[in-house]
Structure 1
Amino acid sequence: MQTPPFSPSEARAARARMGMTPEQVASGMAQLGLARPPEAVLAWEAGTAVPTEVELFALADALWCPVPTLMALRPTTLREFRLGRQFTAERLARRIGMDPRAYARAESSNQWTGTDRQTLALADALGMRPEEVLDVIGRAAELASLLQQAVEGRWKAHTGQVAELARADERRVGRALRTLHREYGRFNERYMGHLVARSGDDRLREVATERAAWLSALPERFRQLTESGGD
């Protein structure tokens, strides 16, 4: 089995914060039902060995430390989110009503094949925000493309599809798309204004660069608007 991400330095720092000896950490893990010698704790901290998933969970509990801290990362993949919530792959699969073999394939290939119901259950079990779910199931790029189509064209025609994909209230999405459409329109107005006024190329490039940066940040701007009500 693939070993989980693990930071020896974070493990040492976590133990130091608790003022615990390796023997005390090993004892704490044993009380959680996983007996390991103090030498195993020292080997993990030295980087000469890496804990298994179950050992990582027990170590985090013994150190009163979140698993992501010991992994030294912010979860971005399905496996990392799962580890962060201390689920084994099989237990998570059962929790969301998915065949464990199908879940294992989805996690190893980074290609989500779950149903809408399983996706909602996954987000709930792992405490994932909507944008994190989209990233994990590989649909963030699809949302970004839809948003760009909406701001460049008829935003109302995209409201339902965007709301479904983003799993957001359709009325909030409509208000957000209306605001984004207006914001995008201002770039075009400025660009055309400079063009008609025969401004220099530098002014035109400046507006084009600002518009490109705005489009790049469009998904985040959309999230801000939907969370605030769309205006």
Structure 2
Amino acid sequence: MYSTPFSPAEAGSARHRMGLTTAQVAQSMAACGTPVHPDLVAAWEQGFQAPTDQQLFALAAVLWCDPTTLMGIEPRTLAEHRIARGLTVERLAYRIGMGPAEYRAAEEARHWQGDTWQTRALVEALGLSLRKLIGIMGRVDELAAHLRSAVDGRWKAHVEPVAEIVVVDVTSVGDALRTMHAEFAEFSERYMGHLVARNDDARLKEIAAERAAYLRRLVDHFWELIGEAGEAAPFPTGGP
């Protein structure tokens, strides 16, 4: 079951910096619309319990720090990025035009299936890029597999699957795959040329090493070719 990431030590340090007692924190949280008992605040700092998302947001407001400080970690998952932005499931789901239950299911499964508009709205709301979202959702290996097949085979067959993964228009994806396919073909041509010419093994090994290095950087190189579309997510015109 999902639990809000929380650092008892950071919470205690933040409260001491503000010079507040647990009772004063509880009173201030109540004024923010999130009433809690002072004993619960103490339990958080002692690590016996963790606050809910809403309680963490209120606590951060009272202690004059951002939610990430109280989380005690750098956001890694979709849920953690949402919390770091101070958004409840309901607020974020509303902003991206998705039902709360559907969005929560995506967080729990760590599998995103939103449409193009929802995806671009999501990355803007969370301050991400399309490239980073692919990593968070664990689809880098899937992308890499398509790219390997594309550079060494029929690249056109992989345009739409790759575009679906990265949420970038098919024209940009097609241009990138065509370029990568041509670049990779050069390695084979150079290798065969040296092989036919019976050049020394050292040169053949050098070309083979360059080819291997190219394959290791497929995903990075793909995003380099995609350019700004992968690093930024301009908010789409219109809406759901």
Question: In which range does the TM-score fall when normalised by the shorter chain?
Answer: 0.7 to 0.9
Instruction: Tell me how far apart the structure 2 counterparts of residues 115 and 64 of structure 1 sit (CA, whole Å).
Output: 36
Instruction: Tell me how far apart the structure 2 counterparts of residues 172 and 14 of structure 1 sit (CA, whole Å).
Output: 47
- Cα offset, 1:130, TM superposition: 0.3
**Equivalent position to 2:18, from 17, 20, 32:** 20
- Cα offset, 1:117, TM superposition: 3.5
- Cα offset, 1:4, TM superposition: 0.7
Q: Does 1:199 align with 2:179?
A: no
Instruction: Tell me how far apart the structure 2 counterparts of residues 98 and 164 of structure 1 sit (CA, whole Å).
Output: 19
Unaligned 5+ residue runs, structure 1?
none
Unaligned 5+ residue runs, structure 2?
230-240
SS in 2 for 1:76: coil
Instruction: Tell me how far apart the structure 1 counterparts of residues 66 and 171 of structure 2 sit (CA, whole Å).
Output: 37
- Cα offset, 1:8, TM superposition: 2.0
- What does residue range 82-97 of structure 1 map to in structure 2 within 5 Å? 82-97=82-97
- What does residue range 94-105 of structure 1 map to in structure 2 within 5 Å? 94-105=94-105
- What does residue range 212-223 of structure 1 map to in structure 2 within 5 Å? 212-223=212-223
Distance 1:118 1:175, change over 3 A: closer
TM normalised by structure 1 equals: 0.73
Conserved in 1, the CA contact under 8 Å of 2:119 and 2:167? Answer: no
Instruction: Tell me how far apart the structure 1 counterparts of residues 113 and 162 of structure 2 sit (CA, whole Å).
Output: 20
- Cα offset, 1:99, TM superposition: 2.9
Instruction: Tell me how far apart the structure 2 counterparts of residues 198 and 162 of structure 1 sit (CA, whole Å).
Output: 39
Instruction: Tell me how far apart the structure 2 counterparts of residues 228 and 90 of structure 1 sit (CA, whole Å).
Output: 30
Instruction: Tell me how far apart the structure 1 counterparts of residues 39 and 190 of structure 2 sit (CA, whole Å).
Output: 67
- What does residue range 74-223 of structure 1 map to in structure 2 within 5 Å? 74-153=74-153, 155=155, 158-159=158-159, 162-163=162-163, 165-168=165-168, 172-173=172-173, 176-177=176-177, 179-181=179-181, 183-185=183-185, 187-188=187-188, 191-192=191-192, 196-199=198-201, 204=205, 208=208, 211-223=211-223
- Cα offset, 1:47, TM superposition: 1.8
Query: What's the RMSD between the two structures over aligned residues?
Result: 3.6
Distance 1:95 1:228, change over 3 A: closer
Distance 1:177 1:21, change over 3 A: same
TM normalised by structure 2 equals: 0.71
**Runs of 4 or more off by more than 6 Å in structure 1?**
none
Conserved in 2, the CA contact under 8 Å of 1:8 and 1:46? Answer: yes
Conserved in 2, the CA contact under 8 Å of 1:22 and 1:41? Answer: no
Instruction: Tell me how far apart the structure 2 counterparts of residues 164 and 114 of structure 1 sit (CA, whole Å).
Output: 10
- Cα offset, 1:218, TM superposition: 1.9
Q: Identify the residue that residue 65 of structure 2 maps to in structure 1.
A: 65
Instruction: Tell me how far apart the structure 2 counterparts of residues 25 and 190 of structure 1 sit (CA, whole Å).
Output: 69
The count of residues paired between Structure 1 and Structure 2 equals 226
Matching residue's letter, 1:21: G
- Cα offset, 1:20, TM superposition: 0.8
Distance 1:172 1:116, change over 3 A: closer
Matching residue's letter, 2:83: L
Distance 1:227 1:15, change over 3 A: farther
Q: Identify the residue that residue 238 of structure 2 maps to in structure 1.
A: none
Matching residue's letter, 2:36: R
